[in-house]
Structure 1
């Protein structure tokens, strides 16, 4: 292919700046990676990496080669996709990013469904909070970001693909379990929140503010960087929290957590996909976008009857 093996090895080492990690990515031994880099340096007649001081860095020659190596990868992927498309198929690479709720609870089903229809596409995915995934998108580290929460940016196009509802989760023995409460009662309980930069946090803050409850009135007792961390903290009796209905399905089925409803509080939101501003995406990105728009609801995890009755935090 256009993207030859030595260039692939160089690119892996250049991005990791670590021979061991490059070897793991390429499923090679470290001596094999070193041998390929040495052969490429002999071919160019200059060193590509500085290995002094116990650290690896690019030499001027290596820095000059890296943009071309990245372009060769992109061109190779375009060639594979073009040949497959000419035969009515999809192939090549698809690099996704997902906010943590989507990545943990929805993305596996969505990718599995997409791959059943497009088995020759190789999907890689990473997760982080919404802000981190949007930054990865604009820096071209990923091709498509699946995010939560209200976002307004001029450098990306954001398109909803699924509605979500956030729910108030309390310990199984809590006095609010399976009950409706007034908004003002939220001031009385320790509230667990996601970190700043989380789309879930923004949704909760906006909804509470719209209902008339200010941030300074809340007893935010802890901030955690994952939804699983929030749920574990609630199970431990450290407070209450708001999470996506998808995140708490297992705990509700087991009875380790319960839901409470907040009268007058609406916590619906949209899960959205984000891609660079400009033309509508084509190739594998375009195919995955179309797949989400047409099949995301049917591939979402099933919700039990009891959860359906309580899937909103307010009524």
Structure 2
């Protein structure tokens, strides 16, 4: 059993985040009129309106912004209380809300989350994904408890801790005739290949660009046949063409095992990066701390833990 926040407050939080009653209704699994009814009842209790309404658009007014701040605090207090009550019986209770960038949410976290669920079946899990900046925003508005990202930022309110190491590698389909059975490529040969890459703005692209400069290759000189929006679409494209791409080693584990794709070594080129846990400075809650420790221990066992353990 858990002690829950007043449902009207949860409806308000959803409406305040989306600034749209229809989206709030979908998230809360109720009708739009029910959202309006809950908001009106809450406003009646508060003795004032919480939203400014202009036609079909809504936004929080001054009272609404204040109410939202305290509503989020209240939710966190209830979650902490439920967690503490559970600990009295040696049980962890509550919902763990994680945010992860794309490579992590698709290729690394699922297996960890499955093991975590088996170990802590009383904890419910919710994972949102986006780029590093989006994850920071979700942390700041307390939509999530802990983030896992592919890069650092200069945001002084965020605390970053190294999780695991990643390597970005040159990949193509097995048996690609353009390789001519060579074990590795001279960097200048990269200019003779055709590529499929992530869309402009990808953080991975920036990492690749910087690494290529170390072997005197201009990123913009690469012949890119097509830009695609996801790693999965890139892998499908590679399997049917003679193109090449740069992908995370974690994203191609299955393809390497079944022989669909192969790594191509490039003389003198190494593209390393770290994945990080990120959260606001301050005390971390029971659930995110439990997950953080569990994830570290899992990768220690698999020999993938980045032992530096830097805290930034």
Alignment TM-score > 0.5, same fold: yes
Picking from 265, 269, 288, the partner of 2:269 is: 265
Instruction: Judge which range, 256-265 or 192-201, deviates more.
Output: 192-201
Which residue number in structure 2 is paired with residue 148 of structure 1?
A: 150
Secondary structure at 1:160 match in 2: strand
Secondary structure at 1:46 match in 2: coil
Which residue number in structure 1 is paired with residue 80 of structure 2?
A: 78
Q: Distance in 2 between matches of 1:177 and 1:109?
A: 37
Task: Provide structure 2 residue ranges, at least 5 long, that are not aligned to the other structure.
Answer: 305-312
Q: Normalized against structure 1, the TM-score is what?
A: 0.81
Count of matched residue pairs: 300
Picking from 95, 101, 104, the partner of 2:103 is: 101
Secondary structure at 1:89 match in 2: coil
Query: Is the counterpart of residue 181 in structure 1 residue 222 in structure 2?
Result: no
Show CA shifts across 1:133-189 (max 9, x none): 244334544322212256666433322222333221124434228642211111112
Q: Is the 8 A contact 2:196 2:224 kept in 1?
A: yes
Instruction: Judge which range, 249-258 or 118-127, deviates more.
Output: 249-258
Which residue number in structure 1 is paired with residue 10 of structure 2?
A: 8
Q: Is the 8 A contact 2:152 2:160 kept in 1?
A: no
Picking from 121, 125, 133, the partner of 1:119 is: 121
Q: CA RMSD in A?
A: 3.0
Q: Is the 8 A contact 1:131 1:198 kept in 2?
A: no
Q: Distance in 2 between matches of 1:277 and 1:149?
A: 17
Within a 5 Å distance, the mapping from 1:206-245 to structure 2 comes to 206-235=210-239, 237=241, 239-245=243-249
Deviation at residue 11 of structure 1 after TM alignment: 1.4
Structure 1 residues 261 and 29: CA distance shift in structure 2, 3 A: same
Which residue number in structure 1 is paired with residue 309 of structure 2?
A: none
Picking from 27, 35, 38, the partner of 2:37 is: 35
Task: Provide structure 1 residue ranges, at least 5 long, that are not aligned to the other structure.
Answer: 302-315
Q: Distance in 1 between matches of 2:18 and 2:238?
A: 38
Secondary structure at 1:28 match in 2: coil
Q: Normalized against structure 2, the TM-score is what?
A: 0.82
Instruction: Judge which range, 221-230 or 103-112, deviates more.
Output: 221-230
Which residue number in structure 1 is paired with residue 310 of structure 2?
A: none
Structure 1 residues 4 and 40: CA distance shift in structure 2, 3 A: same
Instruction: Judge which range, 168-177 or 181-190, deviates more.
Output: 168-177
Deviation at residue 195 of structure 1 after TM alignment: 4.3
Picking from 168, 171, 177, the partner of 1:169 is: 171
Q: Distance in 1 between matches of 2:213 and 2:91?
A: 48
Deviation at residue 55 of structure 1 after TM alignment: 2.1
Deviation at residue 236 of structure 1 after TM alignment: 5.0
Instruction: Judge which range, 239-248 or 175-184, deviates more.
Output: 175-184
Q: Distance in 1 between matches of 2:88 and 2:186?
A: 59
Which residue number in structure 2 is paired with residue 292 of structure 1?
A: 295
Picking from 280, 289, 293, the partner of 1:276 is: 280
Deviation at residue 235 of structure 1 after TM alignment: 3.7
Deviation at residue 59 of structure 1 after TM alignment: 4.2
Q: Is the 8 A contact 1:2 1:75 kept in 2?
A: no
Q: Distance in 1 between matches of 2:303 and 2:199?
A: 26
Secondary structure at 1:106 match in 2: helix
Picking from 139, 160, 175, the partner of 1:137 is: 139
Deviation at residue 34 of structure 1 after TM alignment: 2.6
